[in-house]
Amino acid sequence: MTERPLKVLFLTAEAVPFAKVGGLADVAGSLPLALRSLGHDVRVMMPRYGTISGERFELVKIGERFPVPVGAGREHIHLMATTMGEDVPVYLLWNEHYFTSREKVYGFEDDAQRFTVFGRGVIEAIRLLDWQPDVIHANDWHTAVVPTWLDVSGWREPFFRDIATLFTIHNLAYQGITGRLILTFAQMEEVKHLSVEPPGAVNWMAQGIAHSDLINAVSERYAEEILTPEMGMGLEPLLEQRRDRLHGILNGLDYDEWNPVTDPNVPHNFDIHSLGRRAANRTALQQQARLPIRSDVPLLGMVTRLDHVKGMDLVAPTLNRLLQEQDVQCIILGTGDPRYHEALKALQERHSHQVRAFLKFDEVLARRIYASADMFLMPSLVEPCGLGQMIAMRYGCVPVVRETGGLADTVIDHRPGRGHGTGFVFEEKTPEGFLEALQRALETYEDRETWRAIQMRGMASDFSWTASAKAYVGLYRSALSLH
Ligand code: ADP
């Protein structure tokens, strides 16, 4: 018997191509399309920020503005619609004060209020659509008001009673903690205090976890890690209580978007059978980086946010030592915390013939690095899923990663004689640990045949969305039967 297609409402604060801050936007821009191609009626709802142009995205207004029960009950929202891909409907909630007058997704003092208005607005918008979802898939704390409201109040209304919920944790570091007055503002005073919440506070991430039928994190390893005091960010007791509802599904990579055969930003396109062409990309990159043009030296690459969790405190100390001992080149692209800008500038000054640090966000350069470097360094302390290592493997660039979260789930450590490695993995959060993995990689690099085999295994790995989308459908169906 074939199972019936599902109606899924996907809630997110950001989605490519409308607004992007981080990896969540990539997921929200790809997973709905993958679900659609499996035959499900998936629709996306997000706020309309000031940066989302009505003209560019051909936004169409649906119905009249509607009131949202928040504060004194005077907020109004307009619902706008467009599509993502060919036929995935996207609804944008337009409220001038909370969203459309703002040029950024996050980072305002009233973020907790803003996303509370979004959540309450979503509930009202669904009524307006005349389309009853089977499942609401909420993502991170910004959308947690919705499963919370459905669980606490929604059961009173037949229209909402049967809607199941899945809550995905993309990053536990951001939880949306705010004063309990937010519940008065949200007209949700029935919501109970949770023991993981500070006294007098609401933690929206915790509420989403407590009130959803099912919960998942963006890799299996991360789903295990967040149960520990070291990585649970204070929510591990709650997650432990809900352990039987907690799953892990690896994010996919958009294989059309990231394809070395067609990527227009890669000067010399290549595939698994023409890896030799990467050499020409590398020459071009060395030129751009004003490093000596050499084919006999291993080229290390990094593309990253410059943040503590990305392992940036390991990078300069490790590379300083490596560069003293070994003849390698290193190209780093990143932006973020000024501390690391300084550290990387100092590293570049000290090793000017070997290191080039580009301290900016540059999508084109990022692609050239993936297509040219021999190794891709990703020593993250925490990595819920991680895209960088998957992109690197797709582009024949061998990842050297720390064993955590999605890195542990996607990169197989090379061990001589085993013939299945796709990269180099280390566990210790120290420059020694990182250095050891880099040295193993550099030794292996000398053996051209083995190295080529590692590159090819990485390129042949399948991290496309198809498998992950099917896993999500499985979770939607179990959420429905558990509801
Ligand atoms: P996170 O979401 O924690 O930043 P991911 O590895 O999941 O880490 O995703 C990072 C994405 O952002 C990758 O596609 C990477 O190529 C891109 N990226 C990060 N920093 C830069 C930069 N400075 N310039 C261009 N792209 C970047």
Atom of ligand 1 nearest to the CA of 335: 23
Q: How far is the CA of 150 from the centre of ligand 1 (A)?
A: 34
Atom of ligand 1 nearest to the CA of 363: 25
Q: How far is the CA of 388 from the centre of ligand 1 (A)?
A: 6
DSSP 323-355: HHHS--EEEEEEEE-HHHHHHHHHHHHHTTTTE
Q: Give the C-alpha separation, 483 to 462, whole Å.
A: 33
Q: How far is the CA of 199 from the centre of ligand 1 (A)?
A: 36
Q: Give the C-alpha separation, 226 to 430, whole Å.
A: 21
The answer, yes or no, to whether any atom of ligand 1 lies below 6 A from the CB of 23, is yes
The pLDDT tens digits for 73-82 are 789 999 999 9
The answer, yes or no, to whether any atom of ligand 1 lies below 6 A from the CB of 336, is no
Q: How far is the CA of 304 from the centre of ligand 1 (A)?
A: 5
Helical segments of 326-430, H only? 338-350, 363-372, 388-394, 405-410
Question: What CATH architecture does domain 7-252+466-482 belong to?
Answer: 3-Layer(aba) Sandwich (3.40)
The answer, yes or no, to whether any atom of ligand 1 lies below 6 A from the CB of 305, is yes
- CATH 3.40.50.2000 segments of the chain: 7-252+466-482, 275-462
Q: How many CB atoms lie within 10 A of CB 170?
A: 22
At 23 the pLDDT is 84
Question: What CATH architecture does domain 275-462 belong to?
Answer: 3-Layer(aba) Sandwich (3.40)
The answer, yes or no, to whether any atom of ligand 1 lies below 6 A from the CB of 95, is no
The answer, yes or no, to whether any atom of ligand 1 lies below 6 A from the CB of 399, is no
Residue the block writes with tokens 């990485």: 458
Decide if 4 contacts 16 (C-beta within 8 A). Answer: no
Q: Select from 172, 265, 266, 305 the residue to mutate for testing ligand 1; criterion: most ligand atoms less than 8 Å from CB.
A: 305
Extract long-range pairs of 64-71: CB within 8 Å, 24+ residues apart: 66/124, 66/125, 66/128, 67/124, 68/95, 68/117, 68/120, 68/121, 68/124, 69/120, 69/124, 69/187, 70/116, 70/117, 70/120, 70/185, 70/186, 70/187, 71/185
Mean pLDDT by groups of 10 residues along the chain of 483 residues: 88 96 91 96 98 96 95 91 96 96 93 97 94 97 98 96 98 96 97 97 98 98 98 98 98 93 98 97 98 97 96 98 96 97 98 97 96 98 96 98 98 92 98 98 97 97 94 98 97
The answer, yes or no, to whether any atom of ligand 1 lies below 6 A from the CB of 123, is no
At 186 the pLDDT is 96
At 2 the pLDDT is 66
Nearest CA to ligand 1 atom 18: 304
Q: Give the C-alpha separation, 409 to 48, whole Å.
A: 35
What does DSSP assign to residue 243?
A: G
Decide if 402 contacts 311 (C-beta within 8 A). Answer: yes
At 142 the pLDDT is 98
The answer, yes or no, to whether any atom of ligand 1 lies below 6 A from the CB of 16, is no
The answer, yes or no, to whether any atom of ligand 1 lies below 6 A from the CB of 313, is no
Atom of ligand 1 nearest to the CA of 383: 3
Atom of ligand 1 nearest to the CA of 334: 23
Q: How far is the CA of 306 from the centre of ligand 1 (A)?
A: 10
Q: How far is the CA of 303 from the centre of ligand 1 (A)?
A: 6
The answer, yes or no, to whether any atom of ligand 1 lies below 6 A from the CB of 302, is no
